[in-house]
Amino acid sequence: AIGSMVGCLMMGLMANLPIALAPGMGMNAYFTYSVVGWRGTGMVSYEAAVTAVIIEGAIFFVLAVTGARFAIVRLIPEPVRIATPAGIGAFLAHLGLQTAEGIGVVVSDIATAVTLGACPLENRTPIVAYDALCRENGICIPSDAYTCDVIGGQMTSATTWMGILGLMVIAIALAYKSKLAFIYGIGLVNFLSWF
């Protein structure tokens, strides 16, 4: 957050451009959820994944400073350049719709990977990492992921409906081209959450 603040202030004050800068969190989410896996259940250790991210950052820095980055970007076909940010945005939106990071509209499902969620705490069935320890010794570690399919109660969580209300307020304000759309949505949800 501090790096984002410093980057945004420098971009606004020194370059006079309305561009927000933040660290590349998409790569972190990819390594966390896909490569390393939940609590290290993936094929790569977190130490190796962090080392790969550091090396990738150093290589990107060298490419950016030398100007080679621009030449490489021009070699990528335009449809791929347009589709890549959309794919990353869809992935991050999916994370925001989950419970741990967002409003809980989607939850884990064994058959379809994701399903409709937003059930209250008492209706959640945790999903267990079925590894060798669980299979052989019966010591199963539940994850933060859960499903609402067993007991039911989809779309009854107040947190989810507050998030949906905030998104609707933001969407309506953006439709009216309000520059304070996000402030309105976040402020309203923040105010209502106190009651």
* pLDDT the model gives residue 138: 86
CA distance 153 to 118: 8
Least confident of 10-24, 65-79, 152-166: 10-24
Q: pLDDT confidence of 101, banded at 50, 70, 90?
A: low
Q: Indicate the helix (H) or strand (E) that contains 145.
A: strand 142-147
Long-range contacts of 164-172 (CB under 8 A, 24+ apart): 164/103, 164/105, 165/189, 165/192
- Residue 83 CB partners (closer than 8 Å, separation 6+): none
- Candidates 186, 171, 142; CA nearest to 39 is 142
Percentage with pLDDT > 70 across the chain: 96
Query: Tens digits of per-residue pLDDT, 137-194?
Result: 888 888 778 888 888 888 888 888 999 999 999 999 999 999 999 999 999 999 998 8
If 0-12 CB within 10 Å is exposed, 13-18 middle and 19+ buried, where does residue 148 land? Answer: buried
38 or 120: which carries more pLDDT confidence? 120
- Full-prediction pTM beyond 0.85? no
- For residue 126, which phi and psi values (nearest 5 degrees)? -65, 150
